[in-house]
Amino acid sequence: MSAKLFPNYVDGQWVEGPAFENRNPATFTEVVGLHVSGTPESMGQAVAAAQAALPAWRGLTGPARGAFLFKVADLLDQRFEQISKEMTLEEGKTLPESKGEVRRAINIFRYFAGEASRFAGVLAPSERERVQMFAIRKPIGVVGLITPWNFPSAIPAWKLAPALLCGNTVVLKPASAAPLSAWRIVEACHDAGIPKGVVNFVAGSGGSLGRALIEAPALKAISFTGSCAVGLKLHNDASARRLRIQLEMGGKNPTIVLADADFNSAVENVANAAFFSTGQKCTATSRAIVEDGIYDRFVEALAERTRRLKVGNGMEPGIEIGPCVDEGQMNTVLQAIELGRKQCGEPIVGGRRLTGPAYDNGWFVEPTLFAHVDPNTALSREEIFGPVLAVTRARDFKHAMELANASEFGLSASIQTANVSRVFEFIHGMEAGLLTVNLPSAGVEYQLPFGGTKDSSFGPKEQGPAAMEFYSDYKTVYLRY
Ligand code: NAP
């Protein structure tokens, strides 16, 4: 049976053309779907359609736009099981993880749909008699959304919903490794009756489509999530055109484990943050910094927990860790492990591609644990984006904080401790945008600002009330009556 074709979506029309394959990383002989490869011309048409649709869309009341977002959420909810299953098939994460993510995407649409009735400006008292002054919010215009494969539903949702709520029109360019989850959201936008041209979807090669997007005259802003290298290039190109830009990029996230921590929870939290979703969360822990007093016992317990992780096809019940998203990502992970071997010695757990009947048709890597890692080596410094954890010994809390902050990244960070003073010292001293205490470093919610600091991020935060900062502007009014 031939795979289904998923067209692009431009100006309310489904556009067919030559397609690329979306393969299952757990069984790469299986083609999940064929996605139409957008061309620079189709990207230009999508931006033009978004521009044409802008006046009518921004002219709607906020609650009217919110009503469309509620409908999108309801449609995604009705299709919840199918969309979750497809996410596991295209990205490889386990089915429970996919369900959690699709639920989150639905909640994001409901959250921003509700915000539509509360989305107001600023009212302030004037120093002058009989002067009323206020600032109203207005959309920025046509916004380009470029998304990665690791949260293929939640990230498109957390960009699209606030962009639409604020009255912008959009062009979404999903990751080529997992475009179907984003396509399902666009399908729901279409079925919800969002007017033509308001939402456009162009899949295909990031290089050529990214250039066409950024060069499109009507484009006003870009929201990007992905690697630092691509983010930097986009930033340079966007700045030349004075486009508004928001970048969420890589991390090298630490978890500090102090000697007074609840030992078993700390082991579980570190294993969860490092290895679940195959370490392919931007907020995953890739460095565990463990206080001297419990270091040896902690490493032993973590190694034991890591060995027990069940790796396999995420559609099977009981599987905890799926494959890398594709061959390229798997090779990046294996190369990083090889370099780690050279610089830090043999990992104490894992370190190889998995083989055997359950693994030979997939991109599976063993959850890998390096202990006694020198904080100056690549294992401690460079993002790997796979199931690889480096454990380093810290003399005390102060030393742990120095090690944790010794990174150009600043996305997420975690501490495991029962000491309230240490918690607050961590909160105030840690250079990262997302902090967790006695929880895994990954696993954030949509109601609060999301994003990093240092080289991990640029521009206003995403999600929660902060999301509106990027997607809207102020118009300030002074009025004498
Ligand atoms: P990526 O290679 O940078 O790709 C991200 C998106 O950019 C994809 O849609 C990609 O398209 C597109 N792209 C590639 N080259 C482009 C170009 N020259 N111009 C415009 N767009 C271009 O990143 P990824 O491998 O998908 O995702 C992994 C990275 O994302 C990691 O570094 C991770 O830390 C980061 N991430 C960060 C966050 C966060 O919130 N901070 C969240 C998730 C992921 P193609 O797929 O067609 O190449």
Model pLDDT, residue 143: 98
Say if residue 403 is in the same domain as residue 361.
yes
8 A C-beta contact, residue 412 and residue 251: yes
Range of the domain at 300: 253-437
Question: Ligand 1 centre and the CA of 192: distance in Å?
Answer: 28
> Residue 340 belongs to a domain with what CATH number?
3.40.309.10
Q: Kindly list the distances between the CA atom of residue 440 and the CA atoms of 95, 398, 443, in Å, as whole numbers in the listed order.
A: 20, 21, 7
What CATH number has the domain bearing residue 138? 3.40.605.10
Active site residues: 248, 282
To the nearest whole percent, how much of the chain has pLDDT over 90? 99
**Confidence category of residue 1, pLDDT binned at 50, 70, 90:** low
Q: What is the DSSP pairing of strand 285-291 with strand 388-394?
A: parallel
Residue 88 has pLDDT above 80, yes or no: yes
Question: What is the CB neighbour count within 10 angstroms for residue 196?
Answer: 16
Q: Is residue 257 within 8 Å of residue 298, measured between CB atoms?
A: yes
Q: Is there a single domain that holds both residue 207 and residue 331?
A: no
Q: Is residue 142 a contact partner of residue 51, using CB atoms and an 8 Å limit?
A: yes
Domain identity same for 342 and 405: yes
Mean pLDDT within 1-5: 85
CA distance 244 to 33: 34
| C-alpha to C-alpha distances, 279 to 265, 276, 302, 441, nearest whole angstrom | 19, 6, 15, 11
Q: Note whether residue 169 is domain-resident.
A: yes
192 pLDDT exceeds 80? yes
User: Sorting pLDDT into bands at 50, 70 and 90, what band is 2?
Assistant: confident
Asked whether residue 476 is assigned to any structural domain, the reply reads yes
Q: Report whether pLDDT(321) > 90.
A: yes
**Domain-embedded: residue 447:** no
Res 107: pLDDT: 98
Instruction: Give the start-end residues of each E strand in 249-337.
Output: 253-257, 285-291
Non-local (6+) Cβ contacts of 248 within 8 A are: 224, 225, 226, 282, 450, 451, 452, 456, 457, 462
How do 253-257 and 285-291 pair as beta strands?
parallel
Other beta carbons within 10 angstroms of residue 466's beta carbon come to 15
Q: What is the DSSP letter of 194?
A: P
pLDDT tens digits, one per residue of 223-266: 999 999 999 999 999 999 999 999 999 999 999 999 999 999 99
Q: Looking at the structure, do residues 185 and 324 belong to the same domain, yes or no?
A: no
Decide: helix, strand or coil at residue 390: strand
pLDDT above 90 for 310: yes
Residue 319: its H or E element: none
Tell me: do 191 and 108 sit in the same domain.
yes
pTM greater than 0.85 (yes/no): yes
Ligand 1 pocket residue status of 148, Cβ below 6 Å: yes
Ligand 1 touching residue 207 (CB < 6 A): yes
Rounded mean pLDDT, 369-374: 98
Rounded CA separation 351/342 (Å):
12
Q: Which residues contact 234 (CB under 8 A, 6 or more apart)?
A: 146, 210, 214, 222, 224, 245, 247
Let me know whether 53 and 200 are in one domain.
Answer: yes
Distance between CA atoms of residues 237 and 220, nearest Å? 13
Most informative mutation of 22, 180, 201, 230 for ligand 1 (most atoms within 8 A of CB): 230
- Residue 322's pLDDT band, with cuts at 50, 70 and 90, is very high
CA of 70 to the centre of ligand 1 (A): 28
Do 433 and 305 reside in the same domain of the chain? yes
When divided into structural domains, the chain yields a total of: 2
> Measured between alpha carbons, how far is 249 from 457 in angstroms, rounded to an integer?
6
How many helices (H) and strands (E) would you count in the chain?
15, 22
Q: Is there a single domain that holds both residue 261 and residue 307?
A: yes
pLDDT digits (tens, 9 = 90+) for 412-450: 999 999 999 999 999 999 999 999 999 999 999 999 999
Give the model's pLDDT for residue 120: 87
User: CA-to-CA distance for 51 and 216, rounded, in angstroms?
Assistant: 11
The residue whose CB lies within 8 Å of the most ligand 1 atoms, and thus the one to mutate among 43, 183, 228, 282, is: 282
Using DSSP's 3-state secondary structure scheme, residue 325 falls into coil
Per-residue pLDDT at 111: 98
> Hey, what amino acid is at 126?
S
**pLDDT value at position 119?**
87
The pLDDT tens digits of the residues spanning 129-155 come to 999 999 999 999 999 999 999 999 999
Q: What is the mean pLDDT of the chain?
A: 97
- Residue 365 DSSP one-character state: B
